[in-house]
Amino acid sequence: MSATQPLAASANPAAQPRRPELSIVVPVHDEADNLPLLVERLKSVLDDCVASWEIVCVDDGSRDGTLSVLRLLHEADPRINAISFSRNFGKEIAIAAGLDHASGDAVVIMDADLQHPPETIPVFLAKWREGFLNVYGQRTDREGEGRLKRGFAKAFYRLFASFGETELPEGAGDFRLLDRRVVEALRALPERARFSKGLYAWVGFPATGVPFEVAERAHGQTKFRFRKLFSFAFDGLSSFSTVPLKIATWLGVVIAIIAAGTALFFAVRTLLFGTDLPGFPSLIVSIMFFSGIQLISLGLIGEYVGRIFAEVKRRPLYLVGERIGFEKLDSVHPR
């Protein structure tokens, strides 16, 4: 359905506003201090490298006046548009909403905190014009991130590479340029537990990486605490692989074999030498052991069942509270 939209737009060009060449999608959560800076730097870069552009900010339930900053920015320059969520839905969903509302021939996704340098965008564009449809930024360093976080990131990539059927390019994140065809492909994916890094890779299309250096956050603090990152990693693994489910099965088989061996050993020993001890320790140990294994397996199955539950509810991905600058576009992008 969405794939027919470009056709519909070109069938009657006079009736509808022209598509900009480039859209910038920015998920925003409590970034009131960073937004004016970001827009200023983006403007000076974009005016030089594309004929027309728009910025689509998605306010992900901010509570620090981000929305009023966005209103002011839109008044000053109507190319800056925004939608706001009714509450915090998370960065992944904010990106999905941004892709739904962006109308450019190409879309760049970037963070609001200036960690993704706007100056890399011309390089993205050059690669796009060469014919790459999915140009991803590859971070050259993870400085200023803490050794622990870096270690976990590395472990995650290794785990994903050995588990998942989809290959993730190392160091590639959300900072990237997507051609309209890729955007439409992503929009057509209905899943709720969105792990965009995996989805970008899953949809395919000619892709290439552009190295960039992650800058320091301009203002404020990261919103991704460890707990959030863990659940994010699990979302990624479980929505791209069923290996965790199989681990439970393998573990069960191995444990069952060990248990059979142990039983045989005790039986033979009792027959040959008789009982010497009542055997309470081994009983208690094995009960605890098997309960543990069962709980792990149940837990794993539960994680997947939970995801099935979330999918079958068919709830909308997000709820929009306010649109800034999209009134004129609603006929082009009915949602």
Among 192, 223, 323, 333, binds ligand UDP (CB under 6 A): 223
Q: Give least dist CB 308 to ligand UDP, A.
A: 24
User: Least distance (Å) from Mg ion to the CB of residue 214?
Assistant: 8
Give me the least distance between CB of 220 and Mg ion, in Å please: 9
Interaction between residue 60 and ligand UDP (CB under 6 A): yes
**Is 28 a binder of ligand UDP (CB under 6 A)?**
yes
Question: How many residues form the binding site for ligand UDP (CB under 6 A)?
Answer: 17
User: What is the pattern of x (binds ligand UDP, CB under 6 A) and - over residues 104-143?
Assistant: -------xxx-x----------------------------
Q: Work out whether 29 is an interface residue with ligand UDP (CB under 6 A).
A: yes
**Segment 100-119, which members bind Mg ion (CB under 5 A)?**
111, 113, 115
Which of 19, 79, 91, 139 binds ligand UDP (CB under 6 A)? It is: 91
For the beta carbon of residue 16, count every other beta carbon within 10 angstroms. Answer: 16
Q: What is the closest distance, in whole angstroms, from the C-beta atom of residue 37 to ligand UDP in the complex?
A: 12
DSSP, collapsed to helix, strand or coil, labels residue 178 as strand
Distance, in Å, from the CA atom of 60 to the CA atom of 235, rounded to the nearest integer, reads 20
Per the CB < 8 A criterion, the answer to whether 67 and 87 are in contact is no
- What does the alpha-carbon distance between residue 65 and residue 236 come to, in Å, rounded to a whole number? 32
Long-range contacts of 160-167 (CB under 8 A, 24+ apart): 160/198, 160/236, 160/237, 160/240, 160/241, 163/237, 163/240, 163/241, 163/243, 163/244, 164/198, 164/237, 164/240, 164/241, 164/243, 165/240, 165/241, 166/198, 166/201, 166/202, 166/240, 167/201
Min CB(114)–ligand UDP separation in Å: 9
Identity of residue 227: R
Residue 333 touches ligand UDP, criterion: CB under 6 A: no
Task: State which residue, 12 or 221, has the beta carbon closest to ligand UDP.
Answer: 221
Region near ligand UDP per CB under 6 A, out of 26-34, 44-52, 150-158, 204-212: 26-34
Residues in touch with Mg ion (CB under 5 A) = 111, 113, 115
